[in-house]
């Protein structure tokens, strides 16, 4: 049997010269470090050997909440190498959120920032986790100390294509987050398709400035560079000036729309500054046509927008060059997310699940080798989200035009996408509703010039109380990740309702849409 371990495919793509630079760090306290391909191989072997030495049950979950660093990347690759399941967690998550993820996933091993060891280890040990390590973004922590005692040679675990490699938690429309289970085969097939579709070349250089606990930064960017043996210029945090300064040494950049609007605010963004760049990719949230056009005008380059999600990795992309399935259609069209990627079947259906006519709007459903197998320990939720013929219901609403381009026009799921992060109003409302003085709440998304969309909370007070909006926001901050916190909160006498008594969120959105204009 051949080994379908994703790590093996990535390792096989390393260039012949293992002493060449694979990752160079830029900015922050650890700026200017160079990691060769050999370093990546040896370091992942050491961490994988450490993991092996713990004798974890097969396919154990390894939950990781650490600041972005090259060592965090090494831990990800080492987890794959050792044949276990990587579970990345946003550093913004607060204790209550971590408690849920750890309780739900029951990881055998947890890795956290040294500063958080006290509270994270308490949660982990209570959930039955046996091993808790620390990893700082400055190469400190018990993980590396322990790994240093292990061999730098390691035989990668053998994995089948459908074997679980990563669990990514996505927030739930109702109730708690769900862990999307992605196999080695899901990730590898998508990485290979994107390598070919976007015309990656060995001499490409990627600017990596996204967080690595979600699909965009972890899969699209990292797998893209590694499966192609291309080096990365690595920023632990997005900083527009630093990114701009790197454009003369790089060829590929990936960002959520907020990164593009922040770069556009830099006077240094000119045609000359980006002349050597080959590809700008945007995704995770809708790219405004104004941003798309402003970028074209300022740089002479056209952003390539693509569409995906945690459950499916990448689904559609505007063309990079010629696409034999769409002869003559090489245009990257702003406002669209392009064509379904090779191997991805995409259909638009009406409420009854029947395919609609070309150009008609409906729910987007997808099927393909990249689509996940289901939600971790939630068979009912999984069954609800798949059709009987195996299509996944994305919850996105869109259309496909006569030329084959897909446009996302909205979402059937009640979701706010803020700076590329997903915020489920139901989760924020549920926290608000538990606060003293709050009878009921509604959270809606409104346009925001920097984050694209942000949450606004509208609260009804319990009789006889007068909750302070700012105090409610402050209390939320202790319970939820920072990007989920509504940017404004209003206490009102009543919420607009339809005849069924349901809150009319569209009216609230309309009422508050000018708040940040
Ligand atoms: C930070 N803040 C946000 C926010 N990020 N508020 C709303 N939405 C966000 N995304 C708030 C903080 O709470 C803080 O508020 C203030 O902004 C400044 O915080 P910061 O940490 O300094 O912000 P910054 O570092 O500038 O972060 C902004 C950002 C970041 C845009 C760089 O959010 C980011 O990296 N986004 C990318 C997300 C991403 O990778 N998504 C991919 C998901 S995968 P206060 O009040 O405390 O001052 C996916 C699938 C697919 O969706 O298709 O790719
Ligand atoms: P996540 O669950 O974090 O992976 O977010 C996935 C969601 O992000 C999708 O279901 C879409 O709603 C949204 N999304 C991703 N890319 C795009 C895009 N290019 N345009 C519009 N929405 C997008």
Following DSSP, what letter does each residue of 315-329 receive, concatenated? EEE--SS--TTSTT-
Instruction: Give the SS3 label for residue 299.
Output: helix
Following DSSP, what letter does each residue of 352-375 receive, concatenated? TSPBPPTT--EEEEEESTTS--EE
* 408 CA: nearest ligand 2 atom: 21
Answer yes or no: do 380 and 477 share one domain: no
d(CA 503, CA 441): 10
Answer yes or no: do 174 and 50 share one domain: yes
What is the rounded average pLDDT of the residues 38-64? 98
* 423 CA: nearest ligand 1 atom: 8
25 phi, psi to nearest 5 deg: -85, 145
Q: Is residue 490 part of a domain?
A: yes
d(CA 222, CA 234): 10
Test site for ligand 1: of 28, 168, 256, most ligand atoms within 8 A of the Cβ: 256
Answer yes or no: do 435 and 501 share one domain: yes
Answer yes or no: do 122 and 150 share one domain: yes
Ligand 2 centroid from CA 505, angstroms? 21
26: domain CATH number is 3.40.50.12780
Q: Is residue 161 part of a domain?
A: yes
Instruction: Give the SS3 label for residue 249.
Output: helix
Helix (H) or strand (E) holding 274: none
Answer yes or no: do 196 and 107 share one domain: yes
Is residue 175 pLDDT above 70, yes or no?
no
Ligand 2 centroid from CA 281, angstroms? 14
**Residues near 250 by Cβ (< 8 Å), separated by ≥ 6?**
205, 206, 207, 233, 276, 277
pTM for the model stands at 0.97
Domain boundary among 187, 203, 237: 237
Is residue 203 pLDDT above 80, yes or no?
yes
- Determine contact, residues 193/341, Cβ cutoff 8 Å: yes
Which residue's CA is the nearest one to ligand 2's atom 8?
A: 284
- Determine contact, residues 274/64, Cβ cutoff 8 Å: no
Helix (H) or strand (E) holding 410: strand 406-411
Residue 75's pLDDT band (boundaries 50, 70, 90)? very high
Q: Is residue 101 part of a domain?
A: yes
Domain boundary among 388, 411, 434: 411
Q: Is residue 393 part of a domain?
A: yes
User: Which residues have C-beta atoms less than 6 Å from ligand 1?
Assistant: 210-211, 214-217, 237-238, 256, 258, 283-284, 308-310, 418-421, 451, 454, 482-483
Instruction: Give the SS3 label for residue 441.
Output: strand
What pLDDT shows up at residue 173? 60
* 216 CA: nearest ligand 1 atom: 54
Q: Is residue 426 part of a domain?
A: yes
Ligand 2 centroid from CA 332, angstroms? 18
Is residue 28 pLDDT above 90, yes or no?
no
- Find the ligand nearest to 220 CA: 1
- Find the ligand nearest to 286 CA: 2
What pLDDT shows up at residue 508? 97
Q: Is residue 127 part of a domain?
A: yes
352: domain CATH number is 2.30.38.10
* 308 CA: nearest ligand 1 atom: 53
Answer yes or no: do 44 and 151 share one domain: yes
What pLDDT shows up at residue 100? 96
Domain total of the chain? 3
Which residue's CA is the nearest one to ligand 1's atom 33?
A: 419
What pLDDT shows up at residue 503? 93
What pLDDT shows up at residue 172? 64
Answer yes or no: do 372 and 465 share one domain: no
Ligand 1 centroid from CA 357, angstroms? 38
Which residue's CA is the nearest one to ligand 2's atom 9?
A: 309
- Model confidence over 114-146: pLDDT tens digits? 999 999 999 999 999 999 999 999 999 999 999
**Residues near 416 by Cβ (< 8 Å), separated by ≥ 6?**
422, 423, 424, 425, 443, 444, 445, 453, 454, 455
Q: Which strands sit side by side in the sheet containing 452-461, from one edge to the other?
A: 438-448, 452-461, 488-492
Test site for ligand 1: of 281, 305, 482, 484, most ligand atoms within 8 A of the Cβ: 482
Residue 381's pLDDT band (boundaries 50, 70, 90)? very high
User: In this prediction, what percent of the chain has a pLDDT beyond 70?
Assistant: 99
- Find the ligand nearest to 194 CA: 1
Answer yes or no: do 420 and 407 share one domain: no
Ligand 1 centroid from CA 331, angstroms? 30
What is the rounded average pLDDT of the residues 236-254? 97
**Residues near 246 by Cβ (< 8 Å), separated by ≥ 6?**
26, 207, 233
Answer yes or no: do 422 and 406 share one domain: no
Ligand 1 centroid from CA 276, angstroms? 28
Answer yes or no: do 386 and 466 share one domain: no
Following DSSP, what letter does each residue of 1-55 receive, concatenated? -----HHHHHHHTS-S-TTSEEEEEESSTTTT-EEEHHHHHHHHHHHHHHHHHTT
Ligand 1 centroid from CA 515, angstroms? 19
- Find the ligand nearest to 211 CA: 1
What pLDDT shows up at residue 29? 82
Answer yes or no: do 40 and 164 share one domain: yes
434: domain CATH number is 3.30.300.30
Ligand 2 centroid from CA 173, angstroms? 14
Q: Is residue 310 part of a domain?
A: no
Is residue 312 pLDDT above 80, yes or no?
yes
* 487 CA: nearest ligand 1 atom: 46
Ligand 1 centroid from CA 211, angstroms? 9
* 238 CA: nearest ligand 1 atom: 32
Domain boundary among 207, 237, 267: 237
Answer yes or no: do 54 and 14 share one domain: yes
Average pLDDT, the chain: 97
Q: Is residue 294 part of a domain?
A: no
User: Which residues have C-beta atoms less than 6 Å from ligand 2?
Assistant: 170, 214-215, 283-286, 305, 307-310, 337, 394, 396, 408, 411, 417, 422
Domain region containing 120: 6-237
User: In this prediction, what percent of the chain has a pLDDT beyond 90?
Assistant: 96
Residue 174's pLDDT band (boundaries 50, 70, 90)? low
């Amino acid at each position: 049997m051949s080994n379908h371990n994703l790590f093996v495919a990535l390792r096989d793509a390393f260039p012949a010269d293992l002493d060449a630079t694979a990752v160079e760090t830029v900015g922050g306290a650890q700026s200017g470090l160079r990691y060769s391909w050999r370093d990546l191989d040896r370091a992942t072997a050491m961490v994988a050997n450490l993991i092996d030495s713990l004798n974890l049950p097969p396919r154990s979950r390894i939950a990781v909440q650490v600041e972005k660093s090259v060592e965090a990347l090494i831990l990800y690759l080492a987890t794959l190498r050792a044949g276990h399941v990587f579970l990345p967690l946003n550093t913004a998550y607060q204790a209550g959120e971590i408690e849920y993820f750890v309780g739900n996933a029951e990881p055998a091993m947890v890795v956290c920032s040294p500063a958080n060891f006290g509270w994270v280890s308490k949660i982990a040990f209570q959930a039955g986790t046996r091993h808790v390590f620390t990893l700082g973004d400055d190469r400190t922590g018990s993980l590396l100390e322990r790994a240093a005692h292990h061999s730098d040679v390691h035989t990668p675990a053998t994995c089948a294509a459908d074997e679980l490699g990563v669990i990514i938690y996505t927030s739930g429309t109702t109730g708690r987050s769900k862990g999307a289970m992605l196999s080695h085969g899901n990730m590898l097939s998508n990485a290979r398709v994107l390598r070919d579709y976007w015309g990656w070349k060995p001499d490409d250089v990627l600017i990596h400035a996204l967080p690595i606990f979600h699909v965009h930064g972890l899969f699209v960017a990292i797998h893209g560079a590694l499966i192609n043996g291309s080096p990365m210029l690595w920023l632990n945090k997005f900083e527009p000036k630093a990114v701009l300064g790197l454009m003369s040494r790089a060829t590929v950049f990936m960002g959520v729309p907020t990164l593009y609007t922040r770069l556009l605010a830099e006077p240094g963004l000119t045609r000359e500054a980006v002349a050597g760049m080959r590809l700008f990719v945007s995704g995770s949230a809708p790219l405004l046509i104004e941003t798309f056009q402003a970028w074209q005008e300022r740089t002479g380059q056209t952003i390539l927008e693509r569409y995906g999600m945690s459950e499916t990795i990448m689904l559609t992309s505007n063309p990079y060059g010629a696409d034999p399935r769409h002869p003559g259609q090489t245009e990257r069209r702003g406002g669209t997310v392009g064509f379904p990627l090779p191997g991805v079947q995409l259909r638009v259906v009406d409420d009854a699940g029947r395919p609609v006519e070309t150009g008609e709007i409906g729910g987007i459903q997808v099927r393909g080798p990249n689509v996940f197998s289901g939600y971790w320990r939630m068979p009912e939720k999984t069954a609800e989200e798949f059709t009987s013929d195996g299509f996944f219901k994305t919850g996105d609403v869109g259309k496909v035009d006569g030329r084959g381009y897909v446009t996302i026009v909205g979402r059937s799921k009640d979701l706010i996408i803020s700076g590329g992060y997903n915020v489920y109003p139901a989760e924020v409302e549920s926290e608000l509703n538990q606060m003293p003085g709050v009878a009921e709440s509604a959270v809606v998304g409104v346009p925001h010039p920097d984050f694209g969309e942000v949450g606004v909370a509208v609260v009804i007070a319990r009789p006889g109380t007068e909750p302070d909006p700012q105090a409610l926001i402050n209390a939320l901050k202790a319970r939820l990740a920072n990007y989920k916190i509504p940017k404004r909160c209003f206490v009102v006498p009543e919420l607009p309702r339809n005849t069924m008594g349901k809150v009319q969120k569209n009216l609230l959105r309309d009422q508050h849409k000018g708040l940040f204009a």
